[in-house]
Structure 1
Amino acid sequence: MTRSEDLFNRAKRVLPGGVNSPVRAYQSVGGCPRFIKKAEGTYVYDEEGKRYLDYIGSWGPMILGHNHPEIQQAVVEAAQRGLSFGTATEIEVKMGELLCSLVPCFDMVRMVNSGTEAVMSSIRAARGFTGRDKIIKFEGCYHGHFDALLVKAGSGVMTAGIPDSSGVPKGCAMDTLTAVYNDIDSVRKLFEENPGQIAALIIEPVAANMGVVLPREGFLKELRDICTENGTLLIFDEVITGFRLGLTGAQGTYGVMPDLATFGKIIGGGMPVGCYGGKREIMEMIAPLGSVYQAGTLSGNPVAMAAGLTQLKYLYDHPEIYTGLEEKGTKLYEAMKEIAEKAGLTCRLNHISSLGSIFFTGEEVCDYTSAKTSDTKAFANYFLAMLKGGVHLAPSQFEAMFLSDAHSEEVIQQTLKVFAEVVEKGEIYE
């Protein structure tokens, strides 16, 4: 029995499914999850000491690679001053100033502790500001485990085959309307059926929780126009895209300004943190200025702020990182596509900058329905073969691959070598 197998058996006795987040359990791909002991640069090391090329990156925030020395040093120094104060600190102000200078829609920002909390709080702010109750989300977009948004959600919910979640009262989701990603007519229909009732429309501007699905040209701009016409707030969930597509996120990349935006652990260098922010008149509705209550003892935690501020400043000082990520992404994903095509492998590969996903289907993947046509058994075979070859991918068809600044040319070529070997063996489609 390996060390990971032993740990997993022990974990299953005390943790639901043996994990603290569902996708980690490997249920959709089979086998025993790897228990990771340490990480450095582009590599993770399991409890047996085996090294893997990592494309999870803690689900996105490790944009500089694992355990970046400057971030590590900032965390150590902050921890030496104290782990948590529950009071105001200078570093919160610095983080707020930096975020408001970088994120196009931010006049003001509130720090929280996760992407889920950021989304939950932004929805409450939108309802408080507009005086309306209904919200629109999109099939396959995941916005955390917030009751009102666990409706046709993506990510781990898709992986587990659970369309919704038990334990969510009908009343919590009765005001949630669901549209089809990339289908503007489905959005217009909801507005026509619910005139003057929709507080907010929330979207992953680049969907990355049903696999990576890009917005069709003009789609985000049309959403902006519809929301403006109807007095509805547009919320971009940038937990994945924020500071990954660029310093201005998807809103800068696509030139569309939302009213509110949410961010996650990337603003904490991978530590548990998130934020939401937007136009001043909306954010001034938040307590203690306004009537929308939201609070948190650990919000703006000084250690998390130190990690995040260091990472964001590093990205600001080195804009060439984003050029490099674009080049690396194109090189890796286009080469994978070419290898697959030459081998006659039935698949689609969607990507933008450092984000990418392979779908084992012959259809164009543009929404939730087409994403679900992917052969998950083929993905499981692919995942296990890549893992055996030393490449650590997300154990789910419906998650993204994440490149980092630490992924060198050598690492990319090694990944392509393993991919080519897996494809050539012909074991993906059994």
Structure 2
Amino acid sequence: MPAPSKLSHEKSHAEFHRARKVIPGGVNSPARAFGAVGGEPVVMDRGDGPYLFDIDGNRYIDFIGSWGPHILGHRHPRVVEAIEDALKHGTSFGAPTHLETVLAEIVVDAVPSVEMVRMVNSGTEAGMSAIRVARGATGRDKVVKFAGCYHGHVDALLVQAGSGALTHGVPTSPGIPAGATADTIVLPYNDPQRLAEAFTEFEGQIAGVFMEPVVGNMGLVPPKPEFLDAARQLCSEDGTLLGFDEVMTGFRLSFGGAQELFGVTPDMTMLGKVIGGGMPVGAYGGAAHVMENVSPLGPVYQAGTLSGNPIAMASGIATLSELKETNPYPRLEALGARFEQGLREAATAAGIPHSIGRVGSMMTLFFTSEDVTDLGTAQMSDTARFGKFFWGMLERGIYLPCSQFEALFISAAHTEEHIDEAITAAREVLGEISAEA
């Protein structure tokens, strides 16, 4: 569907068509392509606090925050100052720096499962490396993942994936040989019985169970407590490593991540997004006896020229230090609850079938009356109706994820007034959608 014309997007239109000539689809990540909502993406110029500004001069209240990293908002003064100071010393050395150790110490102190951590450059690298370590540490090949969970574009895990793969209808990508996924077992999320059956069928063969402890990549889907508990128990009994992909949830849902929030400790944790404060940073870590398998200490090889980049480390240290000192999590929970209630009331008043998934500052309004607990129920959503909602909100200055199957993010820079403005816009848009029907 084409974008409405309440705002001018002439410069974005021209810039996007320029990009399409030299970049596949005009974007460097499919999640930015607006493919699920029609029209063309808005090209951004700058961010400031809770706002984004496009190259046409339009201002938006930003509920994406670069898909999660900007929990403090855009250009937080402490983060900017840290980056500027690090730049004075150089951009990359290919040698150890003090900043790497400082950030590692913060992570080890904060995340219950992590006794040692290795820095990488993205969540994808973290996922790829964690699988290799799990296989190397256990001497087993098989891994379990859950349909609708996205762990980066890792060959072994890009099966029934969420995020952009789900949005664009390609849950499994061409270019991945059959052998790369031959040892991947795909199960439904939130189904402890199916997980138990897999352990019975493949007893002693599963290296790792990898999951998003709170799913953000088929829309926001909370875990059933019994599901996380079953995963922990089954892995422990079988000598399997439990891996939590906390690229989205780490330092987002609490300072110690989802594992701290739910009280379930995995053996390995994948991190990204918030840990870098907006810079390209990923990390994987876990129990010392597991991480001691990583080269040069152990035989499992993983390397990266820019891993532990000093600019990225400085940004991460400043972000995590600010989070620890200010503890914005109770306030983020309150803002999330306010937004959830407002959206629920607006959708109910408009007579639009809906359900809402939310944990803390992450949330999705699903256009289905079914409670969304897994990929199957998520896919029952009315994506065409979501597209109308997205464009209506955008034209009222509210920037939301451009897919039904993504979560929005609230930042510490948002106020109750920002939330109320978004609720007012939603009430108007949902009313219009209802009237069209």
Q: If the TM-score is normalised by the length of the shorter chain, which range does it land in?
A: over 0.9
**TM-superposed deviation, 1:393:** 0.6
**TM-superposed deviation, 1:221:** 1.0
Match of 1:147 in 2: 155
Match of 1:5 in 2: 13
Structure 1's unaligned 5+ residue stretches are none
Q: What amino acid is the match of 1:156?
A: G
Match of 2:281 in 1: 273
Residues in 2 aligned to 1:76 and 1:426: alpha-carbon distance in whole angstroms: 46
**TM-superposed deviation, 1:62:** 0.4
Q: What amino acid is the match of 2:191?
A: D
Residues in 1 aligned to 2:425 and 2:208: alpha-carbon distance in whole angstroms: 45
The structure 2 residue matched to 1:360, chosen from 356, 367, 389, is 367
Residues in 2 aligned to 1:141 and 1:421: alpha-carbon distance in whole angstroms: 33
**TM-superposed deviation, 1:189:** 1.6
**TM-superposed deviation, 1:218:** 2.0
Q: Structure 1 residues 402, 429: CA separation in 2 closer, same or farther (over 3 Å shift)?
A: farther
Q: TM-score, normalised by structure 1?
A: 0.98
**TM-superposed deviation, 1:413:** 1.0
**TM-superposed deviation, 1:429:** 6.5
Residues in 2 aligned to 1:98 and 1:346: alpha-carbon distance in whole angstroms: 44
Match of 1:33 in 2: 41
Match of 1:78 in 2: 86
Paired residue secondary structure (1:14):
coil
Match of 1:234 in 2: 242
Aligned-residue sequence identity (percent) comes to: 50
Q: What amino acid is the match of 1:170?
A: A
Q: What amino acid is the match of 2:319?
A: Q
Residues in 2 aligned to 1:155 and 1:426: alpha-carbon distance in whole angstroms: 25
Paired residue secondary structure (1:53):
strand
- Within-5 A mapping of 1:305-316: 305-316=313-324
Report if aligned partners of 1:142, 1:154 keep a CA contact under 8 Å in 2: yes
Report if aligned partners of 1:379, 1:428 keep a CA contact under 8 Å in 2: no
The structure 1 residue matched to 2:391, chosen from 380, 384, 395, is 384
Paired residue secondary structure (2:88):
helix
Q: TM-score, normalised by structure 2?
A: 0.97
Match of 1:19 in 2: 27
- Within-5 A mapping of 1:39-58: 39-58=47-66
**TM-superposed deviation, 1:343:** 2.1
Residues in 2 aligned to 1:429 and 1:402: alpha-carbon distance in whole angstroms: 29
Match of 1:69 in 2: 77
Match of 1:398 in 2: 405
| Deviation readout 1:74-95 (Å, 9 max, x if unpaired) | 1011011100001000011111
Report if aligned partners of 1:65, 1:406 keep a CA contact under 8 Å in 2: yes
Match of 1:219 in 2: 227
**TM-superposed deviation, 1:98:** 1.0
Q: What amino acid is the match of 2:214?
A: V
Match of 1:351 in 2: 358
The structure 1 residue matched to 2:303, chosen from 283, 295, 303, is 295
Name which of structure 1's ranges 182-191 and 168-177 shifts more when overlaid on structure 2.
Answer: 182-191
Match of 2:4 in 1: none
Q: What amino acid is the match of 1:336?
A: L
Q: What amino acid is the match of 1:395?
A: C
1:372 lines up with 2:379 in the alignment: yes
1:90 lines up with 2:98 in the alignment: yes
Report if aligned partners of 2:361, 2:411 keep a CA contact under 8 Å in 1: yes
Q: Structure 1 residues 226, 400: CA separation in 2 closer, same or farther (over 3 Å shift)?
A: same
The structure 1 residue matched to 2:332, chosen from 325, 328, 335, is 325
Residues in 2 aligned to 1:3 and 1:377: alpha-carbon distance in whole angstroms: 26
| Deviation readout 1:121-144 (Å, 9 max, x if unpaired) | 011000000000000000000000
**TM-superposed deviation, 1:27:** 1.2
**TM-superposed deviation, 1:428:** 8.3
Report if aligned partners of 1:199, 1:233 keep a CA contact under 8 Å in 2: yes
Paired residue secondary structure (2:103):
helix
Deviating above 4 A after TM superposition, structure 1's stretches of 4 or more consecutive aligned residues are 427-430
Name which of structure 1's ranges 223-232 and 22-31 shifts more when overlaid on structure 2.
Answer: 22-31
1:114 lines up with 2:109 in the alignment: no
| Deviation readout 1:95-154 (Å, 9 max, x if unpaired) | 111111111011100000000000110110000000000000000000000000010000
**TM-superposed deviation, 1:352:** 1.0
| Deviation readout 1:144-199 (Å, 9 max, x if unpaired) | 00000010000001100112000000000000001110101111121111121100
Residues in 1 aligned to 2:164 and 2:379: alpha-carbon distance in whole angstroms: 13
Residues in 2 aligned to 1:429 and 1:86: alpha-carbon distance in whole angstroms: 59
Paired residue secondary structure (2:225):
coil
Paired residue secondary structure (2:144):
strand
Residues in 2 aligned to 1:146 and 1:114: alpha-carbon distance in whole angstroms: 11
